Structure 1
Amino acid sequence: MLQTKKQARRRRRLRAAGVLTLLTAVVGGGAYLAISQLNSSEVLVRERCSAVVGTDTYELAPEQAANASTIAGVAVTRGLPPRAVSIALATAVQESGLRNLDYGDQAGPDSRGLFQQRPSQGWGTEEQVQDPIYAAGAFYDELVTVPGYQSLPITEAAQLVQRSAYPDAYADHEPEARAFASALTGQSPASLNCVLRKPVASGSAAAVTERFAAVFPALPTAATEEGLVTSASGSEGWAAAQFAVANAKELGITSVSHAGLQWNRADGGWTTAETETGQVLITLAEVAA
């Protein structure tokens, strides 16, 4: 039987509607799949390290936190008080943003490193002031010569060391400096946390051991079946544990355990765990080549 024009048009509309429905389902399904994959993507993880004091939380990028941990570790090794670290961190945040800069500015064209120390002013060679351990040590060498520095306002103590053209600027960074100093000197246990993406390479036991030996030379670190173990307790133990967390991104660390708690990279936080007394246990990533 021949179709009427009206029937033919109706059939074409039905076929078009069916095709549109199919396309919508395909496109919609593809969009859902793409969104699902995007949501689970590591790219969406905003890497950061935070220090918590009371109800306040302060954040640094992993690179900044690692530099802060070195500054704090040098002070712990020297037996300096947390106040010295607060002053040093406020200074480094102001001078370099806690980044190991290889350039200066118009006021100090030869300034370099975390503290923007100038070789022309006797702080050391250009290579030395770009070594975070040396730079922190040089800062503390000057700080401890300041009479009563522990009782001075942070900005005043920092200025007596740095002699900056902007002497009041250090005060702007006092809250975050105090928070990270408290965590990284071990005064505030489990108060430093880093949220990181999955490791892209295996961790190196030699690199971790070398880093600890450079910053905490008095703390022995040894490899065991469980991972790397550093012998430390009390505030020193927490300083070492949170140093490891702060350097987890660069060193490929996946977990840090100490004093009944464990930081786990996959979860991004501290939880209760069985631990050995007086030990910091560090486990490393194993990524297939």
Structure 2
Amino acid sequence: MRVRFSRGVLTIAAIVVVLAVAITVGLYNLLKQAKPFRQVVAGCVVRTPSGELNLDVEQAQISATIAAVAARRKLPERAVVIAYATALQESKLYNLNHGDRDSLGVFQQRPSQGWGKPKQIMDPVYSTNKFFAALVKVKNYRKMPLAEAAQEVQRSAGGYAYAPHEGDAKILAAAFTGRVPKALHCTYPAPTATPTTTPRPRAEEARRKLARALGSTAITTERRGWLVAAWSVAHAQEYGLRRVDYSGVSWRAEEVSDGWKPGGKSSTTEVVLS
């Protein structure tokens, strides 16, 4: 038995199919043009020609501090690479309040071995200065294998363990010393405002903290400017900064993955924080 449909039913069915196709195509084009929603989570990424690394905010801050202390001491990039490889092995670039026996801090320095008091070692600026002060006493540290130079400072039970971190250390050094511009990008959720208060950027407070590690915050070279810019981005959440401008480009905290964009207000003689 055949089922016959009237011409009216067939017409309605055809209209429904056409409408369904039109709606599907319209939704596809709309979704294609729309930017995907992404939840803003605090975190950082370093991108250089040598590779890419993801960092927690604390790791980025520690990395920026090590580079700033090295710049203040006028040390070569090789010293920074050695410091990063050591810190990656000892603490994964975290300021640890525990460790083997009485080891503490980024470099797991021991108060009992003369590195300083516990409170001092837990200060990344202090501990980094102590590391570099010991490193520069190592004869020919710039030319010797990284693991040997690090071991001369640390006197670790497993000095061979520093070598595998050299590649990542070089990526970090290129970014945080400012040799590779625009290499650090961090994203931070918008600060929470209460009915009576709105968080405000504390740019001057940030500059005072930077000065403790770097000395003068004056921009004397473009590379130094990028060092200051990277330090500022790494510490932006701590000081309520939502934007950093330098050399004609701008970093903004709400940008999830786009990084630095043209349109910065500053020149190569100033890093603007806001």
Tell whether the structures are fold-level matches, with TM greater than 0.5.
yes
Who is 1:272 aligned against? 262
Alignment map for 1:227-246 (pairs within 5 Å): 231-246=219-234
Structure 1 residues 149-158 or 179-188, which shifts more? 149-158
Alignment map for 1:48-63 (pairs within 5 Å): 48-54=43-49, 56-63=51-58
d(CA) in 2 for partners of 1:79, 1:134: 16
1:171 lines up with 2:154 in the alignment: no
CA contact (8 A) 1:101 1:113 kept: yes
Match of 2:213 among 188, 208, 215: 215
d(CA) in 1 for partners of 2:231, 2:268: 18
d(CA) in 2 for partners of 1:136, 1:60: 19
- Number of residue pairs matched by the alignment: 230
Who is 1:16 aligned against? none
Alignment map for 1:1-289 (pairs within 5 Å): 44-54=39-49, 56-105=51-100, 109-200=101-192, 201-220=199-218, 231-268=219-256, 269-273=259-263, 274-283=265-274
Deviations 1:233-252 (A, max 9, x none): 32111111111011112222
- How many percent of aligned residue pairs carry the same amino acid? 40
- Structure 2, unmatched stretches of 5+, are 1-35, 193-198
CA contact (8 A) 1:202 1:252 kept: yes
d(CA) in 1 for partners of 2:57, 2:154: 26
The structure that is strand-richer by fraction is 1
d(CA) in 2 for partners of 1:55, 1:204: 34
TM norm structure 1: 0.75
d(CA) in 1 for partners of 2:214, 2:190: 27
d(CA) in 2 for partners of 1:251, 1:119: 31
SS of the counterpart of 1:253? coil
CA contact (8 A) 1:232 1:280 kept: no
How many angstroms does 1:191 deviate by? 0.9
d(CA) in 1 for partners of 2:90, 2:50: 27
d(CA) in 2 for partners of 1:182, 1:56: 10
- Structure 1, unmatched stretches of 5+, are 1-38, 221-230, 284-289
Who is 1:33 aligned against? none
TM norm structure 2: 0.79
Who is 1:3 aligned against? none
Cα-Cα RMSD: 1.7
How many angstroms does 1:150 deviate by? 1.1
How many angstroms does 1:256 deviate by? 0.9
How many angstroms does 1:147 deviate by? 1.1
| One-letter amino acid matched to 1:213 | A
How many angstroms does 1:151 deviate by? 1.5
d(CA) in 2 for partners of 1:244, 1:161: 29
SS of the counterpart of 2:89? helix
